Structure 1
Amino acid sequence: MSTEKDKQPGKEIADPGDEVGELVGRLTGEDELEPAERRRLLGRLARAVSDGARKAKQTGVGRGRWLADLFLNIAPRIPIRDLQTLSEHHHGLTGEALADDLVRTAQKATMTVGAVGGALAAAEFAAPPLLLSAPAQLVAETIVVAAIEVKLLAELHEVYGVRIDGSGAQRAVAFSSAWAKQRGIDPLAPASVTLALGAATKAALRKRLMRTLGRHLTTLGPFLTGAVAGGALNRAATKKLGETIRNDLRGKLPPAPRRDQITP
Structure 2
Amino acid sequence: MAVPDKDQQPGKQEADLDREVGELVGRLTEPGELEPAERRKLLGRLARSLTTASRRARESGTGRGRWLADIFLNIAPRIPIRDLHTLSEHHHGLTGEQLADDLVRTAQKATMTVGAIGGALAAAQFAAPPLLLSAPAQLVAETIVVAAIEVKLLAELHEVYGVRVEGTGAQRAVAFTAAWAKQRGVDPLAPASVSLALGAATKTALRNRLMRTLGRHLTTLGPFLTGAVAGGALNRVATKKLGQAIRDDLRVKLPASAERGRLEPPERGRSDP
* Shorter-chain TM band: 0.7 to 0.9
For 1:91 and 1:82, the matched residues in 2 are separated by 15
Change (3 A) 1:79 1:256: farther
Uncovered stretches (5+) of structure 1, i.e. residues with no partner: 1-13, 127-131, 259-264
Kindly state the Cα deviation for residue 169 of structure 1 after the two structures are TM-superposed.
Answer: 1.0
Q: Quote the residue 2:185 is aligned against.
A: 184
Change (3 A) 1:178 1:38: same
Q: Quote the residue 1:7 is aligned against.
A: none
Runs of 4+ in 1 over 6 A off after TM superposition: none
Deviations 1:47-75 (A, max 9, x none): 00000000011000011001101100100
Q: Quote the residue 2:210 is aligned against.
A: 209
Q: Quote the residue 2:176 is aligned against.
A: 175
For 1:53 and 1:16, the matched residues in 2 are separated by 11
Q: Quote the residue 1:9 is aligned against.
A: none
Amino acid at match of 2:166: D
For 1:148 and 1:99, the matched residues in 2 are separated by 15
Q: Quote the residue 1:135 is aligned against.
A: 136
Uncovered stretches (5+) of structure 2, i.e. residues with no partner: 1-14, 128-132, 264-273
Given that residues 161 and 251 in structure 2 are in contact (C-alpha distance below 8 angstroms), is that contact kept between their aligned partners in structure 1?
yes
Kindly state the Cα deviation for residue 123 of structure 1 after the two structures are TM-superposed.
Answer: 1.6
The farther-off stretch of 31-40 and 101-110 is: 31-40
Given that residues 115 and 235 in structure 2 are in contact (C-alpha distance below 8 angstroms), is that contact kept between their aligned partners in structure 1?
yes
Given that residues 161 and 256 in structure 1 are in contact (C-alpha distance below 8 angstroms), is that contact kept between their aligned partners in structure 2?
no
For 2:17 and 2:123, the matched residues in 1 are separated by 31
Change (3 A) 1:99 1:15: farther
For 1:122 and 1:17, the matched residues in 2 are separated by 28
Q: Quote the residue 1:86 is aligned against.
A: 87
Given that residues 15 and 74 in structure 1 are in contact (C-alpha distance below 8 angstroms), is that contact kept between their aligned partners in structure 2?
no
1:155 maps onto 2:156 in alignment? yes
Q: Quote the residue 2:23 is aligned against.
A: 22
Kindly state the Cα deviation for residue 18 of structure 1 after the two structures are TM-superposed.
Answer: 2.2
- 1:192 counterpart SS class: coil
Given that residues 123 and 222 in structure 1 are in contact (C-alpha distance below 8 angstroms), is that contact kept between their aligned partners in structure 2?
yes
For 1:184 and 1:201, the matched residues in 2 are separated by 14
What's the TM-score, normalizing by structure 2? Answer: 0.84
- 1:222 counterpart SS class: coil
- 1:230 counterpart SS class: helix
Kindly state the Cα deviation for residue 30 of structure 1 after the two structures are TM-superposed.
Answer: 2.6
Given that residues 20 and 48 in structure 1 are in contact (C-alpha distance below 8 angstroms), is that contact kept between their aligned partners in structure 2?
yes
Q: Quote the residue 1:242 is aligned against.
A: 243
The farther-off stretch of 30-39 and 58-67 is: 30-39
What's the TM-score, normalizing by structure 1? Answer: 0.87
Q: Quote the residue 1:34 is aligned against.
A: 35
Kindly state the Cα deviation for residue 133 of structure 1 after the two structures are TM-superposed.
Answer: 7.5
Kindly state the Cα deviation for residue 208 of structure 1 after the two structures are TM-superposed.
Answer: 0.2
| Pair member with larger Rg | 2
The match for 1:255 among 232, 242, 260 is 260
For 1:71 and 1:180, the matched residues in 2 are separated by 11
Q: Quote the residue 1:10 is aligned against.
A: none
Given that residues 103 and 152 in structure 1 are in contact (C-alpha distance below 8 angstroms), is that contact kept between their aligned partners in structure 2?
yes
